[in-house]
Amino acid sequence: MFLQGQKIGKYEILRSLGSGGFGSVFLARDTWLNIKVAIKVPHKQSLELFKLLKEPRLQAALNHPNIVRMISAEKENKVFFMVMEFVKGKTLEKILEKERTLNVETSIDYITQISYGVDHAHKNKIIHRDLRPSNIIISEEGTAKITDFGTSAWLENLPYASTRIGSPPYMAPEQFLGKASFFSDIYSIGCIFYEMLIGQPPIVDPDPFKILERAKEGKIKPPRLINKKVPKEVNEVIIKCLAIKVEDRYQKPSEIIRHLAVFKGKDSKKSEMEDILGRIRARERTTANCWNCRRPLPYKAGSCPYCGESVWKK
């Protein structure tokens, strides 16, 4: 829609950044402030203004480091467009196309950041409804930022959004049925987490109805069975995100963050060894002190390991 070098109001188009189902995005320069911005132009320009303003109003209501910032919505020469923060980096989709999988530490880092952004949106009564790798930008500094709120919805006084919309490989079972809720975003986070560690979403099929059928039956292979490098704690987090019933999933993104924070920095094998040693120490609990040296005696000890005296005073 826009060409390189074209001027649209105070913005100079530098190049195209890509195009999706709902709009095209361009890199532009704000000639007044001399900064780079991202300009998104919706494909459906014929919509009424209040409908075009839905996405920028939703995104403008959010102010978080893990969400791409909406700067303004404008109309020039009968063309409506949104002006957003330009994030220098790559989408998670592009990163996965090149790397296929990411290591556990990096995956935890990205999911934690994504969960922070989603948690902020949920606190503002907004569900994203289309969380997927192509809608996550990873900056050159390693910051994950959620973008594209074109399918998002406000859930102020409603239990769910009734429109059936989203990307099938990342959609929760209830989302297919037109009942997307905050818990549906939790499911999508689990799908992204799964893909980063395995190389593909938990259920892949060109037929959306087959994805729904398998999701409703819970036919998801635990990531640890595919990739032995996935720690059991991380495996449990992913499986809980992907639970069929919403009540069995995490109820808030903050719960994902907390569970990953507990695990973060711990080696899986070391954690298992600490558990074993803990059980051994429990069996070796003390019940009394030596009558001679007054040091604690191991459980069921016949003699003091420190002074050698018999447990029973002669």
Count the Cβ atoms, other than its own, within 10 Å of residue 92. Answer: 22
CATH homologous superfamily of 7-85: Phosphorylase Kinase; domain 1 (3.30.200.20)
130 is a catalytic site residue: yes
Place of tokens 């005296």: 309
**Which residue's structure tokens are 């449990």?**
236
pLDDT over threshold 50, residue 279: no
pLDDT for residue 282 is more than 60 = no
For residues 17-32, average pLDDT: 91
Helices marked H in the chain:
49-52, 54-60, 92-99, 104-123, 173-176, 182-198, 208-216, 223-226, 232-241, 253-263, 268-283
pLDDT at residue 157, rounded to an integer: 66
Q: How confident is residue 313, by pLDDT bands cut at 50, 70 and 90? A: low
> Domain map of the chain by residue range?
7-85, 89-263, 285-314
Q: Calculate the average pLDDT of the chain.
A: 87
Q: Hey, is 289 helix, strand or coil?
A: strand
d(CA 83, CA 61): 14
Contact predicate 183/251, CB 8 Å = yes
Residue 67 pLDDT > 50: yes
Q: What angle do CA 155, 218, 245 make, to 5 degrees?
A: 35
Torsion of Cα atoms, 49 then 52 then 57 then 63, to 10°: -150
Report the topology of domain 89-263. Transferase(Phosphotransferase); domain 1 (1.10.510)
pLDDT, tens digit, for every residue of 73-106?
A: 999 989 999 999 999 999 999 999 999 999 999 9
Question: Catalytic one among 130, 185, 205, 267?
Answer: 130
What pLDDT is recorded for position 268? 41
Total-model pTM: 0.81
Please state the φ and ψ torsions of residue 107, each to the nearest 5 degrees.
-60, -45
Model pLDDT, residue 251? 96
